[in-house]
Structures are given as C-alpha cells and as structure tokens.
C-alpha cells in the first residue's frame, strides 16, 4: 500500500458533501481501485457550524478556499464552489499554478476558462479532471476522451439538462403548459428558485461546449454555441409533434460538417423511435457517433449528490493511479483550428406553427413567403375551422438553410393575419 492521496475539498454544498460521504461509505472499494487510500485532509466552506451530516473532525479548516492551494500537505484540490469566476476560478488557477491537480464539477468554469486552465495544467504537468461537469454520473468525458479516442467523431447529441427534460416530459405526459410544469419541477427540487440558467439552455450550452472541445480536439469555445431554451415551448406544439411522430427535446448538438463545427442548444423534434427520444424525466443521455465505433448511447442520472460525487471520485482515482490524459484529449499544440459554423448555416428540416386568422388567402400568403425563400414543404396541416378566429397552421419543411427560414419567417410574421409570434422548432434527423 502506497501513501494516501491527500485531498482538499473546497465547498461543502451538495457536491462537496457528497464527495465526502462517498469517500467515507465506499472507502474499501475505492482504496482497492485507486491502489491507495483517498483521504480528505482539508476543507473550506462558508459556514463551519452547519450540519451537513458528515463529520469534519480532524480536517484542517480554511475560511479562504484559495489557501487550500498553498497547503503543503494537500496533493489534490476538489473545487466544489461553483460559478465561472470568483473564488472557484481563483482556487483552480492557484492550485494548478502551485502544481496541484484539480478535480471540478464546474461546467461554467470549464466552458468559459477551460482553454486557459488547460494551458496552465499542461505547463505544470498536472491533471485537471472534470468528469462531473457533464452528465453527472455517466462517464461521458472518459468515454469520449479515451474510450472512443480512435474515432473521428461526426456528431455528439445530448440531453444535458435534467431540469429541462423533466419539464418537457411533464408537459407531454400530463398535457401541462410550460409555467405549470416549471412550478411543479421547482416544488420537487428539480428546478432552482431562479431557473433561468437551466431553462434558457445556458447550463446545457456549457456542457455542450465541453463535449465539442473533446470530440473535435479544438479549444473550448462557449461563445460559438447557439443557445435557445424551452420557455416558448407550448403544450400545443408538444401534442402536434407527437402526431407527426416526434418528441420535443432540448438537445445539445455538436456536429462536424464540411464547413467546420456546429455547436447549438435548442429544442428539437426527434423521431420517436430514436433512443434519445425515450430518455425522460431528469435523466441525461449522450449519443456519440464515430466513424469506426458507430453510434454509442450513454444514459443515466445527470445531477444530484450521488452521481456527481461518483464522477468526482472517478477523477480522483485516475489521479491516485497517475493515469494521465491531456485536458482536452490532445496536447495544446495539437488542438485543431477547425472553424465554428454560424447558426444561419444550419441545414435541416423545420416545424413552423402559426396562429392565423381563419380567412381566405392566408395560406396562400404563407406558402408564397416560403416559396420565395426557396423552402419546400414536407407537410401542411390546418387544424379546425373557425372563420374569423385564430387557428393553428403547421408547416414542416424539407431541408433548407436556417438563414432562408429566418427570412421567410420575418415576412410571414409581418402578415396581418398572423396573430402570434410563430413557433419554430428544428427537426433533427438523428
């Protein structure tokens, strides 16, 4: 038995306390798998007196998390503070600069500062582990970075936010509108009091930026991700999707095309038969498509104390075993400079749902707008007749460019008979 790995944990919220509990509960298993004990020896948190259900006796306590980076008896730092900047970033920077490996669950930090942090980690020759930053307990980072490392990846598709998936599932299963489903998710603890980060797609976009960097071996680029959330999804669209053979999911998609790499997070219609369409509730899933491995689907719990701690400790075991992988899968000098493709260049099919006043000539105006932008129709559906009143009209298109579609919608929206903002949902042929 070699000497224990001495671990400092910064932040004792859900993630940090979960890591302590896991290291305590599964100590024997973890010691065997790591080849030596994993021992937490120092912690930092805001409130020393709060009852977290775990004993902190015998641990060195720091008010200032950054001090953990300078404790000479600490081998590795777990950052469980959260947030893309502030103390979390200060601690990770200080620890790497001090030559200590870091493990974090912080997707915002990685998505925004991952390139800089990776450069420091590489210069110092230390690990920066972030399995817990994406899809919680599902080992997607390891799978893409090591398990599928021999493949040229063509596409990564993920249900990356359990809150959104829970809300969309509730809307479909119980016919709820968005606001009701959100309130329910909040009551159950699946959505935060301020849910914007989740429901506006930002959290999923952080994770997608990380997956795209790994899959395509390029610098992480959050700014290039096109982000839309689920606030505008209606129960009506979910019902109509079902009739057309689709499910509506908030997906993160990173795709390699001839033009470069597309990265986008937005509601999608996916064929009901596709495995990702059936991933419901708070579950996450990631689909990776490689040229030799084919399509791999990984599914499980994307959040919560247990799954997140499982991922953090997996990274710690890698460090204890001295298993080393460059932060983004390849050395900084080997990162590719393949360009990002702007959203306007997305090519695919679209679902467009309008509310129009039911009177002669409206459909002709709508279809003329589409024709003038060279968009051809796959199907058209007018549901119900109510002369003089607003009724839904649904159009699905053949493949066209997003920019064309946007231009057509601008014209359609200006028609007097179109009484609401059109609902546009992209159809993904996965």
Between 19 and 418, name the residue whose CB sits nearer to a copy of itself.
Answer: 19
DSSP state for residue 4 in the 8-state scheme: P
Between 280 and 399, name the residue whose CB sits nearer to a copy of itself.
Answer: 280
Out of 207, 249, 345, 421, the active site residue is 207
Between 325 and 340, name the residue whose CB sits nearer to a copy of itself.
Answer: 325
Between 34 and 108, name the residue whose CB sits nearer to a copy of itself.
Answer: 34
Taking the complex as a whole, the smallest distance from the CB of residue 242 to a copy of itself amounts, in Å, to 18
Q: In what order do the strands lie in the sheet with 76-79?
A: 60-62, 38-44, 5-10, 76-79, 102-104, 128-129
Taking the complex as a whole, the smallest distance from the CB of residue 245 to a copy of itself amounts, in Å, to 16
Q: Is 421 a catalytic residue?
A: no
Question: Could you tell me the two tokens for 95?
Answer: 């620890």
**Structural contact between residues 277 and 292, judged by C-beta atoms closer than 8 angstroms:** no
Taking the complex as a whole, the smallest distance from the CB of residue 260 to a copy of itself amounts, in Å, to 16
Taking the complex as a whole, the smallest distance from the CB of residue 78 to a copy of itself amounts, in Å, to 13
- Angstrom distances, CA of residue 114 to CA of 110, 111, 366: 4, 6, 45
42 has which bridge partners? 8, 60
Between 299 and 399, name the residue whose CB sits nearer to a copy of itself.
Answer: 299
Q: Phi, psi at residue 143, to the nearest 5°?
A: -60, -45
Between 278 and 359, name the residue whose CB sits nearer to a copy of itself.
Answer: 278
Residues of this chain that bind a copy of itself (CB under 8 A):
18, 22, 25-26, 29-30, 32-35, 131, 136-139, 142-143, 146-152, 217, 275, 278, 290-301, 304, 306-307, 309-311, 313-314, 316-318, 321-326, 329-331, 334
Question: Could you tell me the two tokens for 31?
Answer: 């010691």
Beta strand 153-159 pairing with 377-382: unpaired
Comparing C-alpha atoms, which of 111, 45, 41, 119 is closest to residue 73?
41
Question: Could you tell me the two tokens for 75?
Answer: 């081998």
Tell which phi-psi region holds residue 83, choosing left (phi > 0), alpha (psi between -120 and 50) or beta.
left
Taking the complex as a whole, the smallest distance from the CB of residue 247 to a copy of itself amounts, in Å, to 14
294 has which bridge partners? 290
* Gyration radius of the chain over CA positions: 24
Cα gap 298→308, rounded to integer Å: 16
Taking the complex as a whole, the smallest distance from the CB of residue 160 to a copy of itself amounts, in Å, to 16
**Structural contact between residues 195 and 182, judged by C-beta atoms closer than 8 angstroms:** yes
Which residues does the annotation mark as catalytic? 207
């Amino acid at each position: 038995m070699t000497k224990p790995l001495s671990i400092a944990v910064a932040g004792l919220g859900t993630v940090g306390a979960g890591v302590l509990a896991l290291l305590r509960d599964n100590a024997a298993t973890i010691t065997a798998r790591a080849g030596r004990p994993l021992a937490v020896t120092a912690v930092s948190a805001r409130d020393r007196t709060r009852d977290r259900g775990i004993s902190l006796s015998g641990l060195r306590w720091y008010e200032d998390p950054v001090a953990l980076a300078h404790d000479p008896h600490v081998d590795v730092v777990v950052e469980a503070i959260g947030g893309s900047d502030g103390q979390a970033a200060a601690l990770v920077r200080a620890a790497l600069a001090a030559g200590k490996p870091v493990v974090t669950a912080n997707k915002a930090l990685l998505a925004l500062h991952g390139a800089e942090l990776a450069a420091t980690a590489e210069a110092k020759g230390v690990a920066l582990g972030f399995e817990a930053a994406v899809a919680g307990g599902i080992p997607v980072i390891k799978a893409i970075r090591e398990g599928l490392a021999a493949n040229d990846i063509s596409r990564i598709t993920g249900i990356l936010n359990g809150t959104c998936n829970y809300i969309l599932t509730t809307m479909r299963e119980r016919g709820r509108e968005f606001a009701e489903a959100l309130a329910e998710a909040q009551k159950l603890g699946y959505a935060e009091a301020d849910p914007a980060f989740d429901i506006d797609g930002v959290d999923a976009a952080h994770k997608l930026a990380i997956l795209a960097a790994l899959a395509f071996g390029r610098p992480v680029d959050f700014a290039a991700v096109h982000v839309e959330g689920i606030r505008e999804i209606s129960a009506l669209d979910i019902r109509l999707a079902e009739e057309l053979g689709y499910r509506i999911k908030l997906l993160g998609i990173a795709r390699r095309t001839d033009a470069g790499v597309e990265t986008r997070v937005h509601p999608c219609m996916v064929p009901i038969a596709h495995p990702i369409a059936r991933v419901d509730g708070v579950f996450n899933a990631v689909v990776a498509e490689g040229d030799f491995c084919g399509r791999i689907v990984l599914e499980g719990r994307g959040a919560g104390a247990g799954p997140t701690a499982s991922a953090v400790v997996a990274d710690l075991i890698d460090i204890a075993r001295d298993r080393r992988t460059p932060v983004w899968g390849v050395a900084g000098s080997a990162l590719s400079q393949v360009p990002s493709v702007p959203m306007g260049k997305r090519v695919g099919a679209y679902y467009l749902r309008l509310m129009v006043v039911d009177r002669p000539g409206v459909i002709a105006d709508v279809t003329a707008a589409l024709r003038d932008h060279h968009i051809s129709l796959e199907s058209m559906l007018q549901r119900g007749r109510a002369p003089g009143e607003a009724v839904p009209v649904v159009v699905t298109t053949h493949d066209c460019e997003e920019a064309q579609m946007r231009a057509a919608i601008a014209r359609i929206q200006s028609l007097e008979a179109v009484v609401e903002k059109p609902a546009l949902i992209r159809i993904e042929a996965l």
